[in-house]
Amino acid sequence: MVTPNLSFAQATPYDEYVGTDTLRALPGPRTDAPEEPAFLVTTQVMELYFGLVRTELRLAARLLGTPDLPPATAAIARAAAYLDVVNTAWRPLNRLTPRQFNAFRPALGEGSGFQSALYREVEFLLGDKSESLARVHRGNPEAHGELLAALRAPSLYDVALSVLARLGYEIPATTLARDPAQPYQPEPLVEQAWARVYAERGAGDHLWELAEALTDVAEGFMRWRTLHLMVVRRAMGAKTGTGGSSGASWLERSLRREIFPELWSARTLI
Ligand code: HEM
């Protein structure tokens, strides 16, 4: 039996590769509340995963410009898998009661996940665009610049509709040439195109697999919004948020903004 190497002059190669010093130096709890560490670590983990989701969605949007669909579908599937992880990560926060949350809530000051640039960029990449929400980041030129680029670029959904058009589906010219910075408006011909994809194709077909991967990522993201709202309602009821919004009622509105709308409505037609 050969034992692992036990002698390192300085930090182990594991520490260097993973950056454990940096991880340990991340801001820790500001209060003695026993529930604060889980809140903070969950938020930090979710930020890291939003970064992974962003990378995959950016890659997928680029790859959909090429005729070979499976590599884009694989990137979207990875993004959906990352969303599954963050959705599971809500679990420890689920049972946070108002009294427990109140014990560390003042430490947030005016801080709120609402100010997460990575989350907002993921939202933009998924086609849920809002110029006003990008304005929050004007004080951080790098984050603001990335957000404006995502706002003004075609979303993953815009690019997917171009793929449908390329493959002979009837997509209105006004939809293909729309201003990508504006919120997307659902369109009956797009709904019919997705309905045909599902009516005429099945497992193993490249376009069908793309439609399913897009639906998985849309579901994962909308599930995140739903689970977040549940945690919010349990931890603070209908109180106003630290970010200044009306809290749960404001978040309920974002739940109604559907990701890839016709991929859902088309199912009624089949
Ligand atoms: C006790 C747990 C939590 C509570 C009570 C809570 C509360 C809230 C509230 C009230 C808002 C609305 C904006 C505001 O006025 O602040 C919000 C937004 C948001 N929160 Fe949380 N949050 C919690 C955990 C988290 C975690 C762990 C994350 C992970 C990063 C997160 C990310 C976000 C994001 C991205 C938004 C913006 C959503 C949107 O624009 O639709 N929250 N949160």
| Per-residue pLDDT tens digits for 130-154 | 999 999 999 999 999 999 999 999 9
The answer to whether residues 244 and 238 touch, using CB atoms and an 8 Å cutoff, is no
CA of 128 to the centre of ligand 1 (A): 17
Q: How far is CA 96 from CA 103, 177, 224, 235, in A?
A: 11, 46, 17, 5
Residue spans of the chain under pLDDT 50: none
Q: What is the predicted pLDDT for the residue at 78?
A: 99
Distance between CA atoms of residues 117 and 60, nearest Å: 20
Distance between CA atoms of residues 147 and 143, nearest Å: 6
| CB 130 less than 6 A from any atom of ligand 1 | no
Measuring from atom 33 of ligand 1, which residue has the nearest CA?
113
Q: What is the predicted pLDDT for the residue at 113?
A: 97
CA of 196 to the centre of ligand 1 (A): 38
Distance between CA atoms of residues 80 and 142, nearest Å: 26
| CB 78 less than 6 A from any atom of ligand 1 | no
Q: Please state at what angle helix 261-269 crosses helix 206-236, rounded to 10 degrees.
A: 110
DSSP codes of every residue in 55-115 = HHHHHHHHHTTSS-HHHHHHHHHHHHHHHHHHHHHTGGGTT--HHHHHHHGGGGTT--GGG
CA of 164 to the centre of ligand 1 (A): 35
What domains appear along the chain, each with residue ranges and CATH number? Answer: 32-269 (1.20.58.480)
Measuring from atom 7 of ligand 1, which residue has the nearest CA?
232
Question: Residue 225 carries which side chain, given as an amino acid letter?
Answer: R
